[in-house]
Amino acid sequence: MSSPITDLIHHPYAPPAGFAAPQPGVFKASTVIFPNVAAMRARDWKQKGGYTYGLHGTPTTFLLEERIAALEGGKHCLLVPSGLAAIANVSLSLLGAGDEVLVPDNAYGPNKALAEGELQQWGITHQFYDPMDPADLQSRLGPRTKLVWLEAPGSVTMEFPPLARQAAICRERGVTTALDSTWSSGLAYNGFDLGGPMGSGADIVVHALTKYPSGGGDVLMGAVVTRDDALHLKLKLTHMRLGLGVGANDAEAILRSLPSLALRYHAQDQAARRLAAWLRQRPEVARVLHPAFEGSPGHAHWQATCGADGAAAGLFSVTFHERYSPRQVDAFCDALELFKLGYSWGGPVSLVVPYDLATMRSARFGGTLCRGMLVRFSVGLEAVSDLQLDLEHALAALG
């Protein structure tokens, strides 16, 4: 069996007869035409044996679904218009009035906002849990808990949780887990097989394809991946009823980027580590948060999950010494020229976002990461030496 990286390039795809191009075609449809009434009645949109309607899949989206399922080590994949839509698809499918969902306190912000917004409004309660303390998660599991979200590492603050332990705790209690595995991109760890003594993994893996799989900073898409047929069907019924389709041109853009996914991921990982190591030596910097760095929160969990010389995304965060005011940190971000101010990550352009931790973390769980300013860096594909010079110039603007 070849590695998933090779499978992203060599994959079952039958081009039209006589046209053996390596890249798949773009098939667009709302309507799909049936040869007769019997065929129309017989075709089941839930099965991939045939096509029924554009929203239920085309040759282009089916192919991308197969590739993402293979990348994540899953069996089924649903494509949705964004990473956030993938999160919403899962929560709306598995939760009903009277149920409770648990979300890590350092989760991707809009996942928490969905719990506080629509879910709350529909009678679904939530609790945020300490991502680094399995006992805290365990103590919050109750008879009404129907879904536990996992994420590694935490968005923005980058703590790497004891993922295998968390999944095992939920499995023991029979609670479904959904892991936001965007950072791993199917490369740093496998969300369905997290190792550890229990050999546990998540039941559902979601992935913002917007990030590394797109790689261009130009396409929004998400994926919901499962291994279990019944769970997939439940998610697919919600997917259909919410009308969550994706466009063929966007699917094709991601199919074109997948063969270079691993190369880009590892190059951006290496570049980020070089810049993070350089920043760590600087007198202005208080802390560099990167799960592969010793002393970063959850470093041992990263090692256990990804391997001692495992991979990481090209992301890290930095806090500056307390003598610098939030205004000075803003001035640093404004002084950067190659690092642009912008959300998202995984594209060719390096990005920064300044965050005020007090607005995003509860003081209860955040430890030292619950107040002050933090700058999140996403490293693109520029020359590392140019990026380092950019940082050096901007540090002068800190004052």
The verdict on 260 binding ligand PLP (CB under 6 A) reads no
Query: By the 8 A CB rule, do 126 and 116 touch?
Result: yes
Binding segment for ligand PLP among 82-90, 93-101, 330-338, 358-366 (CB under 6 A)?
82-90
- Name which of residues 44 to 73 contact ligand PLP (CB under 6 A): none
Q: For ligand PLP, give the closer residue by CB, 180 or 203.
A: 180
String marking each residue 83-102 x if it binds ligand PLP according to CB under 6 A: xx------------------
Using CB under 6 A as the binding rule, whether residue 215 contacts ligand PLP is answered as no
CB of 81 to ligand PLP, least distance (A): 8
Check binding of 222 to ligand PLP (CB under 6 A). Answer: yes
Restricting to residues 175-194, name those near ligand PLP by CB under 6 A: 180, 182
CA distance 167 to 115: 20
Nearest to 219 by CA among 230, 208, 234, 227: 208
Give the nearer residue to ligand PLP in terms of CB position, either 69 or 152: 152
Say whether residue 155 binds ligand PLP (CB under 6 A): yes
Q: Which is nearer to ligand PLP, 132 or 398 (CB)?
A: 132
Can residue 317 be called a binding residue for ligand PLP (CB under 6 A)? Answer: no
Residue 344 Cβ vs ligand PLP, minimum distance, rounded to whole Å: 6
Closest approach, Cβ 153 to ligand PLP, in A, equals 9
Q: Nearest approach, Cβ of 106 to ligand PLP (angstroms)?
A: 10
Closer CB to ligand PLP, 93 or 210, in the complex:
210
- Least Cβ distance, residue 214 to ligand PLP (angstroms): 9
Task: Give residues in contact with ligand PLP (CB under 6 A).
Answer: 82-84, 108, 155, 180, 182, 208, 210-211, 220, 222, 344
